Amino acid sequence: MTAKLSSTPVGSAAAQPKPGPDPKRPGEAVFRGLATGAGILILVILALVASFLLIQGGPALFADPAKLATQGYGEFVSWVLPFAFGTVWAALLALLIAVPVAIGIALFISHYAPRKLAQPLGYLIDLLAAVPSVVFGLWGSVVLAPAMLPLFTTLNSSLGFIPLFAGQVSGTGRTILTVAVVLATMILPIITSLCREVFLQAPRLHEEAALALGATRWEMIKMAVLPFARPGMIAAVMLGLGRALGETMAVTMVLSGSRNITLELLTSQNPNTIAATIAQNFAEAFGLKTSQLIAAGLVLFLITLAVNSIARWIVARRAQYSGAN
């Protein structure tokens, strides 16, 4: 999205030479070949990954349910469904926490903060993206989970009538809500960085025009920046969602996961995610169990693919009538 926005300004296209191989300049042909090769390579990699998942997971996908019950983890669909739910549920919760904060930070950096503060803050946010997920996992299980306990107990006793906060509060704090907070912290930098870039791309003239018409800072942002940035923001959120869906290590280390579907956020019985399930069980799995775990990986692959396709579709649809044109 950012690439699209930062492409050549209107009018300069005509001044450029027509693309295509030029016999006098071999560099052109070589670079064109390299770029095309890279483009094809990504398709090949994707196809290889998909076929690996299909071939290795196939035995479990097409196995007799009775055989799967004795040699695997049980009937495939009913086995994988709670994990698929947990994956999406944890990622959605993380987005719910991360998106407002990320947009706030991005707006602060792009439109509110003094220049001296904006740049270091931007670097700091980018630095957060470089922290390995295992560190987030350690922090989540050692520091955050116990620290969340009092909050959980309060939520449960005062808002326990809401199904989300019902049930017996976990004694360790290692619940899906803690995981959502950890995941939110992890996807915050991606969403923030992209949103910041998009906000900075908002046309200066539009902003100044809004201010000249008597708009306050917030009204200017509402009228000139946000409509222009909406497709970019959606793309940023979807990238964040993609990372949250696939996050393995942090979830494995923090979550007390089980195989059930529940909306309760504070109990010991949380739906595990697909990625964490694979990580937890793959080391000791063999035979049909290995296949079944890889087949679960295929399900995760499909979920991620679906999410990204939906994001693409939204961006493409919105782009036509956004403030950008």
Question: Could you list the residues that contact other proteins (CB under 8 A)?
Answer: 30, 141-142, 145-146, 149, 168-174, 252-253, 256-260, 268-269, 272, 279-281, 283-287, 289
Which of 240, 260, 242, 238 lies closest to 300, judged by CA?
242
Distances (CA, A) of 116 to 120, 121, 175: 7, 9, 40
CB of 301 to other proteins, least distance (A): 22
At 14, which amino acid appears? A
CB of 72 to other proteins, least distance (A): 11
Q: How many CA atoms lie within 13 A of 285 on its CB side?
A: 18
Q: With respect to other proteins, which residue has the nearer C-beta, 161 or 286?
A: 286
Distances (CA, A) of 168 to 95, 163, 164, 173, 269: 25, 12, 12, 11, 9
Q: With respect to other proteins, which residue has the nearer C-beta, 64 or 284?
A: 284
Q: Are strands 257-258 and 270-271 parallel, antiparallel or unpaired?
A: parallel
CB of 43 to other proteins, least distance (A): 20
Q: With respect to other proteins, which residue has the nearer C-beta, 155 or 324?
A: 155
CB of 159 to other proteins, least distance (A): 18
Q: With respect to other proteins, which residue has the nearer C-beta, 201 or 272?
A: 272
User: Encoding tokens for residue 80?
Assistant: 């994988």
Number of other CB atoms surrounding residue 198 within 10 Å: 25
CB of 296 to other proteins, least distance (A): 15
User: Encoding tokens for residue 307?
Assistant: 């999410």
CB of 189 to other proteins, least distance (A): 26
Q: What is the DSSP string of 166-183?
A: -SPPPSS--SHHHHHHHH
Backbone angles phi and psi of 258, in degrees to 5: -140, 180
Q: With respect to other proteins, which residue has the nearer C-beta, 215 or 285?
A: 285
Q: With respect to other proteins, which residue has the nearer C-beta, 55 or 142?
A: 142
